[in-house]
Amino acid sequence: MAPPQGSQAPLEFGGPLGAAALLVLLPGTMFHLLLVAGSGPARLLGPPPYLPGLETLWSPRALLLVLAWLGLQAAFYLLPARKVAEGLELKDKSRLRYPINGFQALVLTALLVGLGAAAGLPLGALPEMLLPLAFAATLTAFILSLLLYLKAQLAPASALAPGGSSGNPIYDFFLGRELNPRIGSFDFKYFCELRPGLIGWVLLNLALLLQEAKLRGSPSLAMWLVNGFQLLYVADALWYEEAVLTTMDITHDGFGFMLAFGDLAWVPFTYSLQAQFLLYHPQPLGLPAAGAICLLNAIGYYIFRGANSQKNTFRKNPSDPSVAGLETIPTATGRRLLVSGWWGVVRHPNYLGDLIMALAWSLPCGLSHLLPYFYILYFTALLVHREARDERQCRQKYGRAWQEYCRRVPHRILPYVY
């Protein structure tokens, strides 16, 4: 059935013009960061050391590696899962089922990489291939989004995302038309959301650590911290994989270039920026400073995990003893909003914890360069924008109850400041 064009959902990201600009800006920024991280001055705002030609970017070997990586992760996705979870109710009242085996995929990948390394797999060669790998991942994301855009032409109207059917092809290609594109039980968005990109990110970090050990005899303390913190973050996301089913990415956004590029290219290649920087710009780090940074990361993680778990437990079972005593506001939908505990401190305590961790990931890189702080700058912008999008949706969903929540918890992310 042909889906309706020109849906009334308000346009986001600056509409078609904004989407067209982001289509170029996002990959452009990623390549800029990759080029600058390996250059001597490593200036975030300076020009790149050179403009790579197609011969530097295009490599059939890199494309094969990216496709093999996606194939491997897809095979792990299809293995029997410890649990199959149901997503939120869809427009047609049905619920999709999702395998909860992302952590299993991480462990299996670690085993395979360990075995491969013992058999002489040259992991340390990956850092030299970052540009062609990133290009291949971008190309893959582009082609995947194009195929998904075409597939959505055949999808029924009930399968479309609220925002991706404006009728403008560039905007819809960017935002994604279909909410949950699937072939059989294989869910493209859910598969891409956490696995190839997040596991790829820690694999790149590990390759950068091994390369540093090869160049300097052993990995630096700063490199260990960055690897350890980010591995904890990825392992946590996969351990609590079920929580992704209630996020905006799964329940609201279509699967288009924004998420495909973000998941497959942006996350592994820009989130590993600190490790890339450290490989080419070693930074001294004493034990007291390392201890203080570990403490900061632990505080951030404590807030992030505490807030996310509290809300997830409450949404799953409000009478669970760990949340039953919390104060709540009733809403017309029958759902309640937490107004004490973490969600009574600010309206997005999980973002606060995430941002504190982001700072702890940059500090091991010292204070001489702005480049390793790109992540926290970008992430602050992303979370402020995400908070505004979520706020708009909650205001629509909960009306006066949301207004009451905002009155009782006036700050969004940072207590007494924002």
Nearer to ligand NDP, 69 or 405 (CB): 405
Query: What angle is formed at CA 412 by the lines to CA 30 and CA 198, rounded to 5 degrees?
Result: 35
The rounded distance, in Å, linking the Cα atoms of 270 and 373 is 11
Check binding of 173 to ligand NDP (CB under 6 A): no
Distance of CA 40 to the CA centre of its chain: 29
Min dist. Cβ of residue 230 to ligand NDP (A): 10
Nearer to ligand NDP, 32 or 347 (CB): 347
Nearer to ligand NDP, 43 or 335 (CB): 335
Q: Which of residues 346-405 bind ligand NDP (CB under 6 A)?
A: 348, 350-351, 354, 386, 390, 393-394, 405
Binding mask 300-339 for ligand NDP (x = CB under 6 A): ----x---x--x---x-------------------x-xx-
Binding mask 260-299 for ligand NDP (x = CB under 6 A): ----------------------------------------
By three-state DSSP, how is residue 160 classified? strand
Neighbouring C-alpha atoms within 13 Å toward the C-beta of 215:
16
Contact 305, 236 (CB under 8 A): yes
Token pair recorded at residue 182: 């699937």
Contact 294, 382 (CB under 8 A): no
Nearer to ligand NDP, 5 or 247 (CB): 247
Q: Which stretch binds ligand NDP (CB under 6 A): 169-177, 216-224, 242-250, 318-326?
A: 242-250
Check binding of 247 to ligand NDP (CB under 6 A): yes
Check binding of 232 to ligand NDP (CB under 6 A): no
The rounded distance, in Å, linking the Cα atoms of 297 and 353 is 9
Which residues touch 215 (CB under 8 Å, ≥6 apart)? 279
Q: How are beta strands 186-187 and 328-330 bridged, if at all?
A: unpaired
Contact residues for ligand NDP, defined by CB under 6 A: 246-248, 304, 308, 311, 315, 335, 337-338, 343, 348, 350-351, 354, 386, 390, 393-394, 405
